[in-house]
Amino acid sequence: MFSIIGTIGEPYLVRNSDRWGISSSVAIVRPKRDIIDPAFLLYWFKGPVFQSALFGIKGGVAQGYVSLEMIRSLPVPQFSLPILLRSATVPRPL
């Protein structure tokens, strides 16, 4: 999940045990697990390259926002999944 209104750009990796409600101020990003590891994507979303690109396209003056179309235009690296999993330097959330 990813906040898109107000405090934009705050990602969260949903766990199977989580109980939550959904609102219009979040986007659900469903990575194709055979292409990208969800934990890697979480840390990419938190990183400076993605965050800089995100804040470069955000709209709003009093309250920032990004649309789903804006999110789709943001950079995501295209590494092969075996390389991501082999390098496994990215700590996994509990």
Q: Which one, of 28, 31, 27, lies nearest residue 6 by Cα?
A: 27
Q: Which residues contact 29 (CB under 8 A, 6 or more apart)?
A: 1, 2, 11, 41, 71
Global model pTM greater than 0.85: no
> CA 3 to CA 24: how far, in whole Å?
9
pLDDT tens digits, one per residue of 60-88: 877 888 988 888 888 887 766 666 566 55
What is the band of 2 on the pLDDT scale with cuts at 50, 70, 90?
confident
40 sits in which H/E element: helix 38-46
Give the number of other Cβ atoms within 10 Å of residue 77's Cβ: 12
Is the CB of residue 5 less than 8 Å from the CB of residue 25? yes
pLDDT (0 to 100) of residue 88? 56
pLDDT (0 to 100) of residue 21? 81
pLDDT (0 to 100) of residue 80? 66
pLDDT tens digits, one per residue of 13-55: 888 898 878 788 888 888 888 778 888 888 889 999 989 998 8
